[in-house]
Amino acid sequence: MPVVKVNDLSIYYELKGVGKPLIILHGLGNNSQSWKKQLEGLKSKFTVIAWDAPGYGHSSDPKEEYKDFSQFADVLDGFIEQLGYQSVNLLGHSMGSAIAINYCSRYPQKVNSLIIADATRGAAGYSNEENERKLRNRLNNIETLKPEEIAKLRVKELLAPNPDAEVKAEAERIMSQIRPMGYRSVAYSLFHLDNMNSLSSIKIPTLIICGELDKATPVSESQIFHEHLPNSQLVVIPKTGHLCYQEDPATFNSSITEFLNNFE
């Protein structure tokens, strides 16, 4: 089982392929298993590395809950260092995009290109009341419901209408693996998130991807990122929701390949 040590944490990852490194950061209800179609579909051109964030999948739990995505980004820096890379291409989905943006803004020399998919602005996208409600709901759910129950509630909201049954079942299976430490750490980090002021400092080539029917972080949110990231392009994947990379991996993967090949 591939694991690297970052301080007191064991960070698990999946790795396939050869070529320039592409590190993938999953979202709130996922882990590295959700990226199998990218690991397979992109391995002929890139070294594809999908991690399990602290508190997720096969990675260990932090000793105390995180409160800010900068803490995840610090672990990411140690992870990249342990893998021996001086610079990487970074892909973050949903809350993974928040980690990626934080990392890019603080370690610009270590990122060659940025890809954010179904990106979230966290607190910056909501009123104070709505932001507090979302935090309470997430904390209440992880405290009172089984992970399988959370998966049943949430996955149907993360996919386009009438989703493929196999895609839905796989998304529910993976989300059923969430653990309180990881979920609560992300919930608090989303509550405190406001990355808007750092966007203009990110000058590297950036690809923004969003599912056309995403209800969690709609296309309008991705358009805001596109307006504020000076070297960005926006791709909308038709007939997909928040989990567009699982719903239409072929289009998702081809968008990444085309983008990364443009500046080899």
The DSSP result for 183-203, as a single string, is: HHHHHHHHHH---GGGGGG--
Three-state secondary-structure class, residue 99:
helix
pLDDT digits 0-9 by tens, 24-69: 999 999 999 999 999 999 999 999 999 999 999 999 999 999 999 9
**List of domains in the chain:** 3-261 (3.40.50.1820)
pLDDT digits 0-9 by tens, 40-51: 999 999 999 999
Q: Count of CB atoms within 10 A of residue 216's CB?
A: 17
Q: Count of CB atoms within 10 A of residue 148's CB?
A: 14
For residue 109 the two structure tokens come to: 């020399």
Separation between Cα atoms, residue 59 and residue 25, nearest integer Å: 13
Instruction: Determine contact, residues 240/250, Cβ cutoff 8 Å.
Output: no
Percent residues over pLDDT 90 in the chain: 97
Answer whether residue 75 shows pLDDT above 70.
yes
Q: Average per-residue pLDDT in the chain?
A: 97
Residue 166: predicted pLDDT: 97
Instruction: Determine contact, residues 122/190, Cβ cutoff 8 Å.
Output: yes
Separation between Cα atoms, residue 57 and residue 73, nearest integer Å: 17
How many helices (H) and strands (E) the chain has is answered by 10, 8
Burial class (CB in 10 A: 0-12, 13-18, 19+), 7: exposed
9-16 and 88-93 beta bridge pairing: unpaired
Q: How confident is the model at residue 1 (pLDDT cuts 50, 70, 90)?
A: confident
Burial class (CB in 10 A: 0-12, 13-18, 19+), 98: buried
| Of 13, 58, 59, nearest in space to 2 by CA | 13
For residue 255 the two structure tokens come to: 């968008």
> Of 124 and 179, which is predicted with more confidence?
179
For residue 199 the two structure tokens come to: 């966007």
Which is it for the CA torsion 78, 7, 52, 125, positive or negative?
negative
Q: How confident is the model at residue 262 (pLDDT cuts 50, 70, 90)?
A: confident
**Per this entry, what is the length of the chain?**
264
Separation between Cα atoms, residue 35 and residue 206, nearest integer Å: 20
Terminal Cα-to-Cα distance of the chain (whole angstroms):
31
